[in-house]
Structure 1
């Protein structure tokens, strides 16, 4: 084989395997459990040169395919480990890989992935002070260097900082999760705290070049342009449309406070440092091989989009591509095609754009599905109508507007104002043509009830099966302000019922109304009505194929 990658199912390992395969190399992926193949297939990576082999680095290695280059990206990256568990992977495991590599007759290079905070230590680590993870990584780094010198193994050590990209949910991701959920009242550390990042794809490309370079190097691979932690969190907060904390707590004080008060794992506090790192050799090597890291601000924003899109690893994204965009002053969550959609899908309460994932798979063209302003993942806007104008501004097609429940009002007003820009209007369970809303949304305790609801409870209240779309909506309702804005939007829509009914009679675009047989209209409209047998107020979740079939195809230019 050209290369063997230990820890190939891990975050760094799988990006490295994808990069090596893209370069036409024959790669052996050494894993304990094969989750790699599905990951590569989902990303369209050609796997003709891949061999997956089973290996447990915590035991001496044997019966593995020989390779020219050996990469060790394996290890335990977690906090709260026991000393025994941490050493088994990060010390003994690293030595097992090295000793196996020493037996290869045509070995060109062993590339060992260490860490930017641990490499270069001069003495044995203090497990009690540092914690098992960091101490084991320091011990492993020292042991690998010493043993490689004894055995004459050509070694290069790569010391990355926090490697970020799609699928990375630990380390700095926990800060972003707390920021997103309104549970980050203060920042840890001080104004100069430096938590550097490096993009996963760039690091994989760097590693792929290392074996052809000089041996004996120790590269600190991180983006020196990473802003200090307060600025980094401010950048992410602005992108997500949430408020960044204004206060900070020094790391020294955090170390003295109980974990029950701070919510911070003590092992993470050593990473809160203003130190800088010797990156000159890594930058020089990258320049020689023609590598340049992508702009760190773009990397961080894309990473934050991925974190929110997957609910920080809790679920796969419902619709892609996705991310935050500015729409009429609102940081708005958009999924799908922003410029040339065939359908624009607007959700009702208390849902978000993920409601449309089931029927979207059965529509015959690209879709654009936003979270409405102030709802789901989107920040509030000064005016829903101005937001609709901003949403449709970049659209270069005449899409069919498909609006569910409460969203029928804004969609109707836009279609009436701009009939030349809309190919048709589909109103699914339009609230202004139905009876009063459910009791829970009209009670004085509605906000509190919504915020406390689990996904199962929300599904029972809405009369739909528990599933990804309901879980996504429930997660949003738990965030500060969202449940309150749901109730406010309901009241606004109720106040506009008569105006919407009158506007429906004179709108100048074709209108199709879709309703569930168990969720009848109380007002007879002057437009065609499709009734779906067995459906209630959310036919997208219970009868997605029937909903897609009821939506007319967009006009073709």
Structure 2
């Protein structure tokens, strides 16, 4: 074995294992429960050189394979821990790893992952003032250094900043979630508060290089160009199309106020400082081995996309690539192929692009889906027509434009204005040909009713099973202003019924109409209509394979537009 990674199922540890395996190393992963192997497989990592071993670092370690490099990425990263719980892993566990590493005859390096705040400490763990997490990390740092000096163990300590990347849902991610949900009226700290970040990919590449460097080098691995916290938050807010807080609350005031009023965990406040950190050794080392950090703005934006795609750790992205893109001047949530799609999928109300996930699973050609402006995860309140034109501007194929319910209106208008851009138009449950929208759209109670809907109630109201798409839509409706925009869009759909019916008769693009048998057309049309048995207004959620089949039939040869 070349290396062993303790904490191999953790956020840093699992990505480090993946990096070492990609470099051709034989790696042992020390775990208590093997959630690592399926995670690696889902990311296409060859696990032929991986050995999974059971280990509990809170106890003395035995019967583990001999290796040359030992990485300890294990740690209890949480706030509100009691002292004993924190010390068991962060201090005693770290020393157990060191003592086992000292017994290895061919040990090349022990790499211990600590924390960037240890450099700002006076060297005395303060469990009462700093909290159990930070104090235990400092105590471990001091103990590891002292024990390594006594025994002559070749040690390198890595002190990463706030690590950001896919799968990071704690720490700074909590602040981003409050920003996204509209629960961040003021920013903690001041204009110079510095919370340094480092991209996960850069960190694990850095860690993989450490054992070949001289022993005794300790590195603070963080991006010195991280903007002050207010600017960092503005970067994320602008990318996601949400307002950034304009006010701030000084840390000294937050310390005096009850946390039940501020929502701030007292243990997080020590991280809100203006301290800077000794990064010279890390920058010199990175230059020596040819590593460069990604631009911090790009890293923050990519991480924001991952947080929103996973609903902050509660969902699984259903397609890639995904993320916010600027469409018609505002942040739009886009999924799939932007240049060469065979299908462009537009959702109806009150859902978002995720409503197409079950159908997309049955499509064999690339697709493009997006949340309409002001709906789902997208910002903007401008014309849907201008937005759709800009969304399709990069498209180089003649795709099938697929629209559901209320989205059929702008889809029809685009098809009428740009028939040369489309291969066909598929209207799924076109609202302008069916029963009018519910009377609640004209009621003042509609907005609060939508905002209060749980996923189960929303599914029941729509007549569909509870699904990730419905759960995500319910979460979107609770965001500030979202329910009101849905109600206004419903009213617009009702107002455009006659215009859309007239336009359907004139459009020159081939048109197919799909409806559920439980929600048939109420207006006869001179267009091919397919009725799907057993489905209602949302056939893509009831019979996705059949809907996908009909979309495939509608696909025409995709000449360049």
* Corresponding residue for residue 554 of structure 1: 556
Q: Distance in 1 between matches of 2:476 and 2:167?
A: 20
What are the Cα deviations for residues 61-80 of structure 1, in whole angstroms up to 9, with x where unaligned? 00011110000000100001
**CA 1:369–1:479 in structure 2 vs 1: closer, same or farther (change >3 Å)?**
same
Structure 2: state its 5+ residue gaps.
none
Deviation at 1:121, TM superposition (A): 4.3
- Point out the more displaced range, 31-40 or 241-250: 31-40
**After superposition, what is the alpha-carbon deviation per residue over 1:401-455, rounded to whole angstroms, capped at 9, x for unaligned?**
0000000000000001000000000000000001111344443201001011110
Q: Does 1:112 align with 2:118?
A: no
- What CA distance in whole angstroms lies between the structure 2 residues aligned with 1:452 and 1:37? 40
Equivalent residue, structure 2, for 1:266 = 266
Tell me, in whole angstroms, the C-alpha distance in 2 between the residues paired with 1:460 and 1:279.
55
User: 1:27-426 residue pairs with structure 2 within 5 A?
Assistant: 27-119=27-119, 121-426=121-426
Q: 2:125, 2:364 → 1: CA distance? A: 60
TM-score (norm 1): 0.99
**Residues 342-392 of structure 1: CA distance to partner in whole angstroms, max 9, x if unpaired?**
000000000000000001111221010000000000012421110011011
**Distance in 2 of aligned mates of 1:492 and 1:360:** 28
The answer to whether the 8 Å contact 1:21/1:47 transfers is: yes
Q: Judging changes above 3 Å, is the alpha-carbon distance between structure 1 residues 65 and 440 closer, same or farther for their aligned structure 2 residues?
A: farther
Distance 1:105-1:137 versus aligned 2 partners, 3 A rule? same
In structure 2, distance between residues paired with 1:224 and 1:143: 28
Structure-2 separation of matches of 1:524 and 1:127: 74
Could you say which residue in structure 1 is the equivalent of 2:460? 460
Q: Tell me by how many angstroms 1:100 deviates.
A: 0.3
Deviations 1:214-272 (A, max 9, x none): 11121000000110000000000000001000000001111111011110110000000
Q: Deviations over 1:183-241 (max 9, x none)?
A: 00000000000001000010001000101101112100000011000000000000000
Matched residue of 1:84: which SS?
A: helix
In 2, the alpha carbon distance for the partners of 1:219 and 1:530 equals 64
TM-score for the superposition, normalised by structure 2: 0.98
SS in 1 for 2:30: strand
Query: How much does 1:336 deviate?
Result: 0.3
* Cα-Cα RMSD: 0.9
Q: Is residue 121–residue 142 contact of structure 1 (8 Å, CA) maintained in 2?
A: no
In 2, the alpha carbon distance for the partners of 1:70 and 1:260 equals 42
For 2:504 and 2:492, how far apart are their aligned partners in 1? 18
Shift of 1:42: 1.0
Measure, in 2, the Cα distance between the counterparts of 1:52 and 1:120. 37
Does the CA-based 8 Å contact 2:402-2:426 persist in structure 1? Answer: yes
Shift in Å at residue 553 of structure 1?
1.8
1:122 positional shift: 4.8
Q: Show CA shifts across 1:101-134 (max 9, x none).
A: 0000000000000000025745331111111100
Determine if contact 1:20/1:208 at 8 Å carries over to the other structure. Answer: yes
Task: Tell me if structure 1 keeps the 8 A contact 2:120–2:275.
Answer: no
Equivalent residues of 1:119, 1:141 under 8 A apart: no
Q: Is the 8 A contact 1:343 1:400 kept in 2?
A: yes
Shift of residue 549 of structure 1? 1.2
Q: Partner of 2:128: helix, strand, or coil?
A: helix
What SS does the aligned partner of 1:223 have? coil
Mapping 1:442-453, distance limit 5 Å = 442-453=442-453
Q: How many residues align?
A: 557
CA distance in structure 2 between the aligned counterparts of 1:32 and 1:429, rounded to whole angstroms: 50
Contact 2:355 2:541 in 1 (8 A): yes
Task: State whether residues 441 and 491 of structure 2, in contact with CA within 8 Å, keep that contact through their aligned partners in structure 1.
Answer: no
Structure 2 CA distance for aligned equivalents of residues 344 and 188 of structure 1: 42
Q: In structure 2, how many angstroms separate the alpha carbons of the residues matched to 1:39 and 1:77? A: 20
Q: Which SS does the other structure have where 2:117 is aligned?
A: coil
Task: Give the distance between the partners of 2:82 and 2:466, measured in 1 at CA.
Answer: 38
CA contact (8 A) 1:319 1:354 kept: no
Who is 2:494 aligned against?
494
